[in-house]
Structure 1
């Protein structure tokens, strides 16, 4: 593509040399401030219009500015990252020196031009330069203001085409269906389009698993549905479990019971009427109304509600004592479980769950799988847990390429059908490609044969009518790479010997704990929430000191730690690139980008504010930060939370290739089977090694469920 100088010279061959130098100087020295064609036209368009006379109109000048602007942008991209600036022509220093007075102020381009004879309207030049200077000042002011303003995140928005028929049915109250049908809708997040022309159909009573890569918009879709930014019939009740319960003095069980608003209002009315009757302030109508309330309470089986709430809470890990604790006494993780319990108890027509297994241990996940299998209304769940989706989902919705595709069956069936579809599409693509090649060979062979001219023309028309041939869309493979830190150490590498540990509050966590690991270890720690899994990891790392016993670690051991609350460790107001530079100063930008690229944070993602990234992308940034110093032993606490399935698979493969030791806490069955060779169970203030691995642990939990009456 021609440079803007060449474009100017070809379009204005008779242009006065002084004006030519001035225009090219203005454009070249201020190219970074020209943000659009309008800016360029404003700077030099009026001047070019004047010198062109009647030979070019306003549209011609704007078209020339458009070509010059495109050339500028291309040059900018080519030279990005370089510190050198190449001039279009040599600077005549001798001419500048002749007019230079050392005691005077530095001369501007305009002042130098004024001292030379010119036929150009100097006022036009002054006006153009003044406009550009004002624009530079406004831009500088905006940049300063941005640094003073707090970070404002982009917001999601949705738009949807609605049919008049559905609107009439909705307004008339005739729509009694509990199916959800959302057609032709778009969802954007800031300037980024997540879904376009999408369609979502949810049949009442079916359980849908929503899957797709991190950052494509799964969570945003759920939020748009919950807020009814996408039109869902008003008679369908929706519950979206996304925020933890606010802590107050309400007991956990009562907090769950209060979700049944009909039962609560009837009980409140019943208490008020009973008080009036007992006080002798009631007339005959109160007794009749009280009788009516009792009938309604019986119809909704209000007396069975406490038992049902207790079963749900117990299944999610709340023992009888915890069920009577106030909500403010629970940690954030337990309050999220409480929010899930409230949603399950409320039984909405449409239940929206976003990664529900993130907050649960293996035992609670198995209980939830069994509970949801008998769910009567509609569920849409985002989950990265393949086993959970295989147990719960009747259908899978795949979000990709800004659209939604629905598959009948569980996750394994979805994988099978999707792979078969891709194979068929690839076969069709190859067949079409061969067909086109066959026609093209005929055309090329007889193009200049007069006797075959009509046939060649026919083949050309046939080729033109064929639909555009597009290659099969395949999702790129996720690859994570952990840098090796392997050295041969003489054992023991990491060991706890007869360790006792308790918190200052008096809570006894471990007694006589003895465990050990080496650089070949692949250990998974499981157990109920609160059993001490995370505490044991912190003792192993040396963050917590035993009350009694010994922690031994090899002097050359370098531990990398991934916390389940990794987001708390990230500065969300800066980009991943800045985050690494701040944590590990002294390296080049290329080194930081290479490190982030190991975990899929590349290109534009590396320079966006970390707060704007999805949960899975933030996890990848945390992995990049953790591995920057090349540890030889990793301690990972719930590393799969927020990751999509493809990234979990890639993480498992990366850990298997890593030459060093690994201890992790996880509830993802597939990930555990993929990575771990040993299973440690935390319970009863001790740790037990299970020889039979995860299968034996799963059988143990099922046996507990049978004893407790859950199965």
Structure 2
């Protein structure tokens, strides 16, 4: 499907790729992995043609359609559902042509719409939107009413709906909650074409990828299998390389010792020269060079507090105006608890985190907490709120006003920010470096409770593993909100679910929750917003009028369909008259000109085919008109 041959790319004063080659098989789901900054997004831009490679090093089939999600959809007045439907360019074009096409073309247009299953498009679009968290009412709202994060979901939904031959996804789970990530994972497994996915989500790479493309040391290598298989294969390869290098080093030392000992002796000169030639010809064995990943520093509280740390009794919490967001909370948390907080976006997870952090007070009921309890709270919006002109050194100076400069620099080095990064502005740091700085800083005071809201968004797989190790060493309580299923499974020993205006313990594990999420997504798309209200039809038409009224936006208007019916009828009348004329000519030819029978017979057959198509177009237009009238 995708062929890259001897690709070299230099930009911004550095070399990203050097003579890199790879061939992706058709239909493969390929995870593109590598350390942050190695050039994964740059490779995407090269494939899309946004950056010039310099020649024909990158090739795709001429008819291949490439799709990507590089930015959020604009805030237009059009509904979410209509926005998704427009992503199918052919269907959208054909639907538009129905308005202006001459009568003789309508049959062909309707036939093509039937071939591409255009009738089911609204249902398919609605199913994708439901899986990404858009309710039926949300799908009819204009794009302008949604935040940038939700418009990114629309862009992802549009790419999945269009089903390009080559789908490029760059960290698609970063703007999804856990529920959306679980649904996307199941969707990618069934994606019918080739997909290339940049991701640091181990579960996604394991469950939906058939290949792993590893980008490192300015080259690419394709591995068959999922991420776990890639790690095992690469580990074995590194072991064999080290073994081969050790053997070569031993041989090299033996040859060099012989040369050093006998090169001055005339009787051994020939042998010494021979060994020197062998030494010169020996190619060094290439070994995998692993970059060190700095650990996270999450100091444990020096003195444990008496249990419970937190106890909620019939508590309600919300904001100053409006009804409580969460009601009737009856929960307890102890020092050794590791809580995984589940729930869709908007269910109240962030409200709950703010309450535990002390940023929100309960409006009713009781919240008991130890006065000595310290809370470290990380949330993803802290990264966005950082002053771009600030530097890590200035930030640590404010956090450690009484410390020496060397102590501050030493602390930053422990965080994984070397001397050269400490006076770099925040805007020049990578997302991973900013996240690492903030994660370490929220834990500097050895809190009794760590609240981590999407801590892994900007971390690569190795940094996520370092965070996991640090959390397992940490001896305080943890509340974890994350779309990274692997981290959730390996950290949380209890699950709480935010749903229906409250938070309660969830009786099940992550596999149970994944099944629950996917089943709920299927149920949410049972009554899709579409021209043809299938639920009403299945139920005998009862209760479908309101839906049909609301769904007119998703297809041709009644006036357009009435026009199509009229055009089809005119076309049928003209073709029927033409067949009658040909039949007369056939009758005359049988008597007066037998040689013309063959040509007339072919003409009649073609006209009959056209009439059949016109009749089918008329039937389709009549049925569609009956549904929306």
TM-score bracket relative to the smaller structure: 0.7 to 0.9
1:212 aligns with 2:34: yes
Bigger drift between 295-304 and 426-435 goes to: 295-304
Task: Tell me, yes or no, if the aligned pair for 1:498 and 1:513 is still in contact at 8 Å.
Answer: yes
Matches within 5 A, 1:285-324: 286-324=102-140
CA distance in 1, matches of 2:390, 2:184: 38
Matches within 5 A, 1:540-619: 540-582=356-398, 584-619=400-435
Which of 155, 171, 180 does residue 2 from structure 2 map onto? 180
CA distance 1:461–1:613, change in 2 (3 Å)? same
| Partner in structure 1 of residue 19 of structure 2 | 197
Matches within 5 A, 1:388-403: 388-403=204-219
1:263 aligns with 2:77: no
User: 1:633 offset after TM fit, Å?
Assistant: 2.2
- Alignment RMSD: 2.4
Gaps of 5+ in 1: 1-178, 274-285
CA distance in 1, matches of 2:393, 2:111: 65
* SS, match of residue 303 in structure 1: helix
1:458 aligns with 2:280: no
User: 1:375 offset after TM fit, Å?
Assistant: 1.4
| Partner in structure 1 of residue 299 of structure 2 | 483
Larger Cα-atom Rg: 1
Bigger drift between 201-210 and 451-460 goes to: 451-460
* SS, match of residue 511 in structure 1: strand
Q: Higher relative contact order by CA 8 Å / sep ≥ 6: 1 or 2?
A: 2
CA distance in 2, matches of 1:235, 1:592: 57
1:239 aligns with 2:95: no
Matches within 5 A, 1:57-456: 179-188=1-10, 190-229=12-51, 230=53, 231-233=58-60, 235-273=63-101, 286-456=102-272
CA distance 1:641–1:307, change in 2 (3 Å)? same
| Partner in structure 1 of residue 313 of structure 2 | 497
Task: Tell me, yes or no, if the aligned pair for 2:443 and 2:450 is still in contact at 8 Å.
Answer: no
CA distance in 1, matches of 2:254, 2:149: 63
Task: Tell me, yes or no, if the aligned pair for 1:243 and 1:336 is still in contact at 8 Å.
Answer: yes
CA distance in 1, matches of 2:332, 2:14: 49
| Partner in structure 2 of residue 687 of structure 1 | 503
* SS, match of residue 547 in structure 1: strand
* SS, match of residue 194 in structure 1: strand
CA distance 1:618–1:199, change in 2 (3 Å)? farther
CA distance in 1, matches of 2:500, 2:401: 45
1:535 aligns with 2:351: yes
| Partner in structure 2 of residue 520 of structure 1 | 336
| Partner in structure 1 of residue 619 of structure 2 | none
Task: Tell me, yes or no, if the aligned pair for 1:615 and 1:642 is still in contact at 8 Å.
Answer: yes
Give deviations 1:133-172, integer Å, cap 9, x for gaps. xxxxxxxxxxxxxxxxxxxxxxxxxxxxxxxxxxxxxxxx
Give deviations 1:356-411, integer Å, cap 9, x for gaps. 12222333222222221221222110111111111111110111112211101111
User: 1:189 offset after TM fit, Å?
Assistant: 5.3
CA distance 1:587–1:244, change in 2 (3 Å)? farther
CA distance 1:222–1:553, change in 2 (3 Å)? farther
| Partner in structure 1 of residue 326 of structure 2 | 510
Bigger drift between 535-544 and 608-617 goes to: 608-617
CA distance in 2, matches of 1:646, 1:206: 25
CA distance in 1, matches of 2:96, 2:452: 49
CA distance in 2, matches of 1:180, 1:310: 31
* SS, match of residue 195 in structure 2: strand
| Partner in structure 1 of residue 468 of structure 2 | 652
CA distance in 1, matches of 2:286, 2:524: 57
- TM-score normalised over the length of structure 1: 0.69
CA distance in 1, matches of 2:378, 2:320: 25
CA distance 1:192–1:505, change in 2 (3 Å)? farther
CA distance in 2, matches of 1:469, 1:256: 52
Task: Tell me, yes or no, if the aligned pair for 1:518 and 1:661 is still in contact at 8 Å.
Answer: yes
| Partner in structure 1 of residue 614 of structure 2 | none
User: 1:202 offset after TM fit, Å?
Assistant: 2.5
Give deviations 1:283-338, integer Å, cap 9, x for gaps. xxx21133332233222222211111011111112121111122222233222211
Q: What is the aligned residue count?
A: 520
CA distance in 1, matches of 2:262, 2:113: 87
Task: Tell me, yes or no, if the aligned pair for 1:215 and 1:617 is still in contact at 8 Å.
Answer: no
CA distance 1:309–1:469, change in 2 (3 Å)? closer
CA distance in 2, matches of 1:537, 1:641: 18
CA distance 1:507–1:331, change in 2 (3 Å)? farther
User: 1:582 offset after TM fit, Å?
Assistant: 4.7
Task: Tell me, yes or no, if the aligned pair for 1:560 and 1:634 is still in contact at 8 Å.
Answer: yes
User: 1:592 offset after TM fit, Å?
Assistant: 2.9
CA distance in 2, matches of 1:296, 1:615: 47
User: 1:537 offset after TM fit, Å?
Assistant: 0.4
CA distance 1:704–1:636, change in 2 (3 Å)? same
| Partner in structure 2 of residue 673 of structure 1 | 489
| Partner in structure 1 of residue 552 of structure 2 | none
CA distance 1:318–1:268, change in 2 (3 Å)? same
Give deviations 1:458-493, integer Å, cap 9, x for gaps. 222222222245554234344222233332212332
CA distance in 2, matches of 1:418, 1:560: 37
User: 1:501 offset after TM fit, Å?
Assistant: 2.7
Give deviations 1:493-513, integer Å, cap 9, x for gaps. 233322113446645521101
Task: Tell me, yes or no, if the aligned pair for 2:342 and 2:481 is still in contact at 8 Å.
Answer: yes
* SS, match of residue 671 in structure 1: helix
User: 1:654 offset after TM fit, Å?
Assistant: 0.3
CA distance 1:602–1:394, change in 2 (3 Å)? same
Give deviations 1:613-638, integer Å, cap 9, x for gaps. 33222211222332344433211101
